[in-house]
């Protein structure tokens, strides 16, 4: 259903407000460069600091621009089940193809609480749901057994796995099967994730190198290991650099170097430090991504 390179879209800001022209052109560029799907209003899109109105407008705008050319997986999670239902209902109304719903942060629900949370959302909205498991940000870690239980529900279709545990996709494959869509949430381990049964990546790096990320996944699917390995190695320093400081500050700086948007972020995040900028600049240079020039595919 979903596969390949799926950027977790940044939300461009200018003077504290959403920069809609930058967002529109950014979404169009992502599609032109071969991204296999789009995730608006996720963590990389600074969803914690978006108002509900902004959140809903971003999802709708992305759906309208994509116009069915690629699937749109709307970020619609919350640590309030009621709010998650509201955002997911709106995503459905806006025409999103699926919802990416993060495990409830701060509340620290039990596994039974996680089952109850996702079941309530699934019962309220008829839309494919991808579980977003990211214990590094949410504290709770959804077990494979819990995912297997949730997969019995008709609308639970997969997981964005940001655990960084490369045993997990193979365990999930054995427990749940290949129809359960496994998408990595970590660019740096995507090669291992694919080898262990994954089918794609919801990516931060794809914000600034969409063609390269897309081509890498296409090479994997075609069994072209030479191209796959070349791009994997080329992007390695970028994956590391974009998490030197809290995301999405580094990737927004990188995007600003490409003329895609300003590097504004909303508090409590701050712009990338000078040290971080130097690391990002070096990684971009190693990857052959020139400032002021949007990167093309490896053969572009």
3-state secondary structure of 148: helix
pLDDT tens-digit series, residues 185-224? 999 999 999 999 999 999 999 999 999 999 999 999 999 9
Whether pLDDT at 300 is above 50: no
Examine the residue annotation and report whether 132 is marked as an active-site residue of this protein: yes
User: What's the pTM value of the predicted model, to 2 decimals?
Assistant: 0.96
Q: How confident is the model at residue 170 (pLDDT cuts 50, 70, 90)?
A: very high
CA angle 82, 88, 89 (to 5 degrees): 90
Paired residues of 55 in beta bridges:
none
Q: Show Cβ contacts of residue 2 under 8 Å, excluding neighbours closer than 6 positions.
A: 36, 37, 71, 73, 98, 130, 157, 158, 181, 183, 199, 200
Contact status, residue 269 vs residue 10, Cβ threshold 8 Å: no
User: Which residues lie across from 161 on neighbouring strands?
Assistant: 133, 184
The answer to whether residue 299 scores a pLDDT higher than 80 is no
Q: Which of 137, 141, 200 is closest to 165 using CA atoms? A: 141
**Percent of the chain surpassing pLDDT 70:** 97
Rounded to 10°, the helix 20-32/52-66 angle is: 40
Alpha helices, H only, the chain: 20-32, 52-66, 81-94, 111-124, 135-138, 144-150, 168-176, 190-195, 210-222, 225-241, 249-257, 274-287
Is 293 assigned a catalytic role? no
pLDDT of residue 153 exceeding 80, the answer is: yes
Q: Mean pLDDT of all residues in the chain?
A: 96
- Do the beta carbons of residue 134 and residue 183 sit within 8 Å? no
Q: Which of 132, 151, 252, 253 is catalytic?
A: 132
- Residue 174, judged by CB atoms within 10 A of its CB (0-12, 13-18, 19+), counts as exposed
- What structural domains and CATH numbers belong to the chain? 4-236 (3.20.20.70)
Residue 11 pLDDT greater than 60, yes or no: yes
Residue 296 has pLDDT above 80, yes or no: no
Q: Tell me the mean pLDDT in the region 241-254.
A: 98
The single residue of 118, 160, 252, 253 carrying the catalytic annotation is 160
Q: Which residue has the tokens 């500050």?
A: 249
Res 298: pLDDT: 52
**How far is it, in rounded angstroms, from Cα 22 to Cα 27?**
9
Per-residue pLDDT at 167: 97
pLDDT at residue 290 in the model: 73
pLDDT at 297 over 80: no
pLDDT higher than 80, residue 9: yes
Q: Return the bridge partners of 8, or none.
A: 39
Average pLDDT over residues 33-53: 97
pLDDT at 1: 80
- Residue 294: the pLDDT is 58
Instruction: Please say if the pLDDT value at position 33 is more than 90.
Output: yes
Residue that has been written with the tokens 């400081």 in this structure: 245
Average pLDDT on 269-291 reads 94
Res. 291 pLDDT band, cuts 50 70 90: confident
């Amino acid at each position: 259903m979903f596969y390949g390179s799926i950027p977790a879209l940044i939300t461009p800001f200018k003077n504290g407000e959403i920069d809609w022209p930058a967002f529109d052109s950014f979404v169009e560029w992502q599609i032109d460069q071969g991204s296999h799907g789009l995730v608006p209003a996720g963590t990389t899109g600074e969803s914690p600091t978006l108002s509900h109105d902004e959140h809903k407008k971003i999802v709708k705008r992305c759906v309208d621009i994509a116009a069915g050319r690629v699937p749109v997986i709307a970020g619609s999670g919350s640590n309030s089940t009621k709010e998650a239902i509201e955002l997911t209902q709106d995503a459905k109304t806006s025409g999103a193809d699926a919802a990416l719903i993060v495990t409830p942060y701060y509340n620290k629900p039990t596994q039974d609480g996680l089952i109850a949370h996702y079941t309530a959302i699934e019962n309220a909205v008829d839309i494919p749901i991808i579980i977003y498991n990211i214990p590094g940000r949410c504290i709770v870690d959804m077990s494979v057994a819990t995912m297997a239980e949730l997969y019995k529900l008709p609308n639970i279709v997969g997981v964005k796995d940001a655990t960084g545990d490369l045993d997990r996709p193979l365990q999930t494959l054995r427990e749940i099967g290949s129809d359960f869509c496994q998408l990595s949430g970590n660019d740096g381990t995507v090669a291992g994730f694919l080898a262990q049964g994954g089918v794609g990546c919801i990516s931060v790096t794809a914000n600034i190198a969409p063609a390269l990320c897309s081509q890498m996944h296409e090479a994997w699917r075609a069994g072209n290991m030479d191209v796959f390995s070349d791009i994997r190695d080329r992007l390695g320093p970028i994956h590391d650099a974009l998490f030197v400081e809290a995301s999405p500050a580094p990737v927004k700086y990188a995007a600003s170097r490409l003329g895609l948007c300003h590097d504004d972020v909303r508090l409590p995040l701050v712009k990338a430090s000078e040290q971080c900028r130097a690391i990002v600049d070096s990684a971009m240079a190693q990857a052959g991504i020139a400032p002021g020039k949007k990167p093309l595919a490896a053969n572009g």
